[in-house]
Amino acid sequence: MTSARPLHVALVGAGPAGTYAADILSASGLDVRIDLLERLPAPFGLVRYGVAPDHPRIKAIIRALEKVLSRGDVRLLGNVDVGKDVSLERLRELYDVVIVSTGADADAPLDIPGVDLPGVHGAADFVSWYDGHPDVPRTWPLTAREIAVLGVGNVALDVARILAKHPEDLLTTEVPANVVAGLEASPVTDVHLFGRRGPAQVKFTPLELRELAKVPDVDLLVDEEDFHFDEGSEEAIRSSNQTKQVVNTLMDLAMRDPATLTASRRIHLHLFHSPAAVLGTPEEGVTALRTERTELTGDGSVRGTGELVETPVQAVYRAVGYYSAPIDGLPFDVRGGVIPNVEGRILGDDGELVPGVYVTGWIKRGPVGLIGSTKSDAQQTIGHVVEDVEAGVLGTGPERAGRDGLTAELDAAGVPWTDWTGWEALDAFERRLGETDAHVRERVKVVAREAMTAIARGQEDVGPLV
Query: Which CATH number does the domain housing residue 390 bear?
Result: 3.40.50.720
Contact 175, 159 (CB under 8 A): no
202 plus 221 within the same structural domain: yes
82 plus 204 within the same structural domain: no
Task: Please tell me the distance from the alpha carbon of residue 243 to that of residue 203, in angstroms, as a whole number.
Answer: 9
Name the residue range of residue 215's domain: 106-322
Task: Please tell me the distance from the alpha carbon of residue 186 to that of residue 141, in angstroms, as a whole number.
Answer: 9
* Domain assignment present for 432: no
Q: Could you tell me which of 153, 141, 181, 107 has the C-alpha nearest to residue 337?
A: 107
Q: What is the pLDDT along the chain (466 residues), one digit of tens a residue?
A: 455 799 999 999 999 999 999 999 999 999 999 999 999 999 999 999 999 999 877 777 899 999 999 999 999 999 999 999 999 999 999 999 999 999 999 999 999 999 999 999 999 999 999 999 999 999 999 999 999 999 999 999 999 999 999 999 999 999 999 999 999 999 999 999 999 999 999 999 999 999 999 999 999 999 999 999 999 999 999 999 999 999 999 999 999 999 999 999 999 999 999 999 999 999 999 999 999 999 999 999 999 999 999 999 999 999 999 999 999 999 999 999 999 999 999 999 999 999 999 999 999 999 987 777 899 999 999 999 999 999 999 999 999 999 999 999 999 999 999 999 999 999 999 999 999 998 899 999 999 999 999 999 999 999 999 9
376 plus 402 within the same structural domain: yes
* Domain assignment present for 430: no
* Domain assignment present for 459: no
70 plus 153 within the same structural domain: no
Strands 106-107 and 322-323 come out as antiparallel
218 plus 129 within the same structural domain: yes
DSSP H or E segment with residue 239 = helix 231-239
- The CATH number linked to 274 is 3.50.50.60
233 plus 310 within the same structural domain: yes
* Domain assignment present for 441: no
301 plus 328 within the same structural domain: no
110 plus 238 within the same structural domain: yes
98 plus 117 within the same structural domain: no
Q: How many domains does the chain have?
A: 2
132 plus 232 within the same structural domain: yes
Contact 366, 338 (CB under 8 A): yes
**Residue at a domain's end among 286, 303, 322:** 322
* Domain assignment present for 281: yes
* Domain assignment present for 34: yes
**Residue at a domain's end among 393, 417, 441:** 417
Q: What is the pTM of this model?
A: 0.95
Task: Please tell me the distance from the alpha carbon of residue 246 to that of residue 205, in angstroms, as a whole number.
Answer: 7
* Domain assignment present for 345: yes
Q: Could you tell me which of 424, 358, 391, 365 has the C-alpha nearest to residue 25?
A: 358
CB atoms within 10 A of CB 255: 9
* Domain assignment present for 424: no
Contact 458, 428 (CB under 8 A): no
